[in-house]
Structure 1
Amino acid sequence: MSAMREFRRQSIRIIITNEKLFEEFREAKKCVFISGFKGYGMVGYITVTHIVEHLKCGRTGVVITKYMPEAITVDKNGIVSPFELYVCRGTDEMSIMALVNHDLPDVRERTRYADTIIRWVTSIGVNEAVFFGGFDARYRVGDEKLRWVATSMWTRKLEEPKMESGLYIIGPLALFTLFSEIYRLPALVILPYAETSRPDPRAAAIAVETFAKLYGLDIDTRELYEKARLIEEKIMELEEQKEAMQAPPGASERVYM
């Protein structure tokens, strides 16, 4: 058995488990790296997993950390580890590498995690990065669907307004953006308005559509909108039950003229 390709920096290891897929990714004219986390509305995670599934990306590697989450699950392809790398072709000239964070890296090594990942993707020839997260819907000021932020090397602009000064991106998403700026990787952060207290597939659908438009991709989002509809119906049902329980006895029988 041949040795697997590995990149290591301090306590973080990136192991390539499918060399063929990895090399096919690097052969493309443009290589794009995407990622997100389980932040507001789980938008980053839902968005990336949806893109991976609908573009039929293949698993090409894993990330191993010192404080690895002690949990795994399984899918149709076998064991699912907490941090996985997937690759696929978006178009004939553009390939995508997705880091799927099924869990959050331990707070003690989040800085090393972000530093290692971004340093590595720049070293393998990634041209651009796109990150996804949720933007607290309470800060919506108009009818716009999202806000965005970009590093200084990113040259394109979106139609929607940028994030205003004085507001913050926090957590691992902030660190990925920061190290992209430090290592001069052109990076865009797409932040659709999201519900902060529950998963928000509708916000994820907006993120997917924005990404697809940016790169000329065809990614179906009907499934995400249907999930959003079911969640919203369930919330409405629970609210109605709550109101009924709080109403005084006989209230439904009263008649007002």
Structure 2
Amino acid sequence: MSIEIKTKENIDLKDCIFITGFHSIIGETGYIAVRHLTKTLQAERIGYIETPLFPPITSLENFRLTLPFEIFKNENLVILFPRMLPYRAEQRKFTQKVTQWIIDHKLKEAILIGGLDNQFKTGEEDCRVVPTTTMLKKAQENKLPLLEEGLQVFGPLALMLTALEIENFPALAILSFAQRGRPDPRAAATAIEKINKLHGYNIPTTELIRDAHEIEEEIEKIIKQQEDTVMRREPREDMYI
């Protein structure tokens, strides 16, 4: 069995903006951000990704079974919500498959969300960005601070950036400064606010800031459940994002 992306038939994704983020020890920033986007926008689930090492875990949400890797859509936003990290053995093929799917469906741009350890913060900026070559000009025009040379990006987000760069596709990783080792909803809010500014959206982030403590506790419970069942087989990497 190969990795397969299954979506509703005859769905038009041309010129849509792709967004995703993964679990990470740095604030769980990407996971919290995409989770918030799907819930706040009440996005429609249009598909999912099936892999040979499909994680053996599910739950109920809005009276429906959840899947480990779901694809949602709201207007011109297409959101990949990886509720779990793909197994390490599959991560390269997983990100390559998603990248090819983005290109095949003629999406316009990709935004990847992650966290950057607060210890690397030197000024007033609340994030750093990593653009592909075709996205560099837009990042500079919007005065987004680039990731300093010497710092590295790891994990699935790095693999996706690499695959998108190889395909000459416009993509931008937004790395919000975040707390290491604990969920950081405020960092997720920062990333969404940058997306709002870049594309003229008005996605609310008030809940992430107002209910930060409750969200943090909820995410910690989710992570513990996942680690107790599946993720303990693969120790989490000490990543910058």
Task: Report the alpha carbon displacement of residue 107 of structure 1 after superposing the two structures with TM.
Answer: 0.5
Percent identity over the alignment is 35
Q: Counterpart in 2 of 1:119?
A: 100
Q: Is the 8 A contact 1:41 1:195 kept in 2?
A: yes
The Cα RMSD (Å) is 1.7
Task: Report the alpha carbon displacement of residue 77 of structure 1 after superposing the two structures with TM.
Answer: 4.8
Partner Cα separation in structure 2 for residue 159 and residue 229 of structure 1? 31
CA deviation profile, 1:219-238 (whole Å, cap 9, x unmatched): 11111002325579xxxxxx
- From 160, 163, 166, the counterpart of 2:147: 163
Task: Report the alpha carbon displacement of residue 197 of structure 1 after superposing the two structures with TM.
Answer: 1.0
Partner Cα separation in structure 2 for residue 212 and residue 161 of structure 1? 17
CA deviation profile, 1:100-119 (whole Å, cap 9, x unmatched): 00000001110000011101
CA deviation profile, 1:48-103 (whole Å, cap 9, x unmatched): 121222222100001001111110111005010000000111xxxxx111100000
Q: Counterpart in 2 of 1:46?
A: 32
Partner Cα separation in structure 2 for residue 51 and residue 107 of structure 1? 25
Distance change >3 Å, CA 142–CA 114, structure 1 → 2: same
Partner Cα separation in structure 2 for residue 193 and residue 228 of structure 1? 15
**Other structure's SS at 1:133 match:** strand
Unpaired runs of at least 5, structure 2: 217-241
> Is the radius of gyration larger for structure 1 or structure 2?
1
- State TM-score, norm by structure 2: 0.84
Matched, 1:32 2:29: no
Distance change >3 Å, CA 160–CA 127, structure 1 → 2: closer
Partner Cα separation in structure 1 for residue 203 and residue 215 of structure 2? 22
- From 139, 145, 165, the counterpart of 1:181: 165
- State TM-score, norm by structure 1: 0.79
Q: Counterpart in 1 of 2:121?
A: 140
Q: Counterpart in 1 of 2:219?
A: none
Q: Counterpart in 2 of 1:100?
A: 81
Match of 2:123, as an amino acid? Answer: G
Matched, 1:67 2:53: yes
Unpaired runs of at least 5, structure 1: 1-9, 90-94, 233-257
Q: Counterpart in 2 of 1:14?
A: 5
Q: Counterpart in 1 of 2:179?
A: 195
**Other structure's SS at 2:138 match:** coil
CA deviation profile, 1:20-41 (whole Å, cap 9, x unmatched): 6x33x43xxx311110001121
Q: Is the 8 A contact 2:208 2:215 kept in 1?
A: no
Q: Counterpart in 1 of 2:73?
A: 87
Partner Cα separation in structure 2 for residue 223 and residue 216 of structure 1? 20
Partner Cα separation in structure 2 for residue 133 and residue 98 of structure 1? 14
